[in-house]
Structure 1
Amino acid sequence: MKLVWCPDMASKAYIDTVKSCQNFKEPGVPELLSAMAAGWNSKLIVESWSHGGPIATSVGLAVAASHTSGRHVCIVPDERSRSGYIQAMRELAGISPTNVVVGDGGELVAEISGVDFLVVDSKCDDFASVLRRARLSDGGAVLACKNARDRRCSGFRWNWVLDRGTRVARSVFLPVGKGLDIAHVGANGEDAFSDKAPGRWIRHIDQRSGEEHIFRG
């Protein structure tokens, strides 16, 4: 089944994430990723996280999963990260995560099939392995790299980190937070995203700089 954009769901997830993340210091990124994950009606949302990392994006993805009746899975490298993640989600957002798995990111993501939406932190050493080994949904998927500005400046390219034969239907770099690199991957070499759905543009205003960003979901 091809991914189809649902603008109403995206808007609701965006608003709820703004409310949930208003006290966090990660402006822009959680709201955008939440809106995109919900807008694509993602049923399996996967992220990687390590101890000390910002938690706001995780909150946004959990909000998105609640709107799509989907699963939100977090991959962490060790027990310390697992405990820190669960504690932060409970104390800062009142969310009790149930799908937190511990181990090597590349190995774990290879055991999870049907990923619709995947978020990695490009500051983590294993981010490329997670992207490369992810078992994506037959209907295509959305991949997002946080903290991508430095990687972008060093010449980052999606075809360097994805399996040979994986077709990037389209990609965009957004100057939000410390940079978001987003790719839409088609299924079996095809563009799996419906181009018939209206209202696929997302408008976002950076709360710090006042800059307006408009991009296609």
Structure 2
Amino acid sequence: MNLDEIIKKDNLEGFSKNEVFDDLFNIKDYSSQRLNLCFELFFREPTYHMLHEMYMDYSEFSENEKIFFWSKYGGLLEEKNSNDCLELILYSLRIDFFGDANTEREAWTSLIEQNLNKNAIKRILEHSGPVSYRYKSKIYKKYLNQIDMHQSILISLYTSLIDFNGMISFEEARNTFIKLDIKEKSEIYCFVEEYIFNYNFKNVEGFKKLIKKYYCLQTR
């Protein structure tokens, strides 16, 4: 049965999309096709609730379900233009999968090993604050010779610094930063430069000082 047939069969018309999602995700009758149905519903009317519920149940996924799940995330990340689905996927990655030590490595490798296009790699980098620095640094090195990737590498360094759970190696970050060819010295650029060259570790007082200095960053 397709999604519309299931909604009709189970008398789910009139229910919120999140309620419909919960039924699809938890009713055993649909276990073999639940992820396909859930993503179909998500693409129709996306909410973070749907992605978070899948994250909460991720450890129970079969290997085939995990492959399917990450193929959906990867496909959205490769899209040229931003949209509501993509923005929620990025939020889910940063807050749930990258921010959880139990899923961080698997989420990262499951995406990177798909050989995604540059649109996807840029987005992954820009939302990779909580990811272990040793994973990110491999991607930095791979793309440092491509100037069109430098802005995303800079943003990755920035989010690694400001994210509460952000992971960064100051010595390696300096070596990466000096190789970036960025013409416009934005506040993000100046913040990263001043932070990594004045401190050797994430420093609360230093952070407060710089975030106050670069006022516009407070609203990001």
Q: Would you call these one fold, judging by a TM-score over 0.5?
A: no
The structure with more strand, counted as a fraction of residues: 1
Q: Which has the higher contact order (CA 8 A, sep 6+)?
A: 1
Q: TM-score, normalised by structure 1?
A: 0.31
The structure with more helix, counted as a fraction of residues: 2
Larger Cα-atom Rg: 2
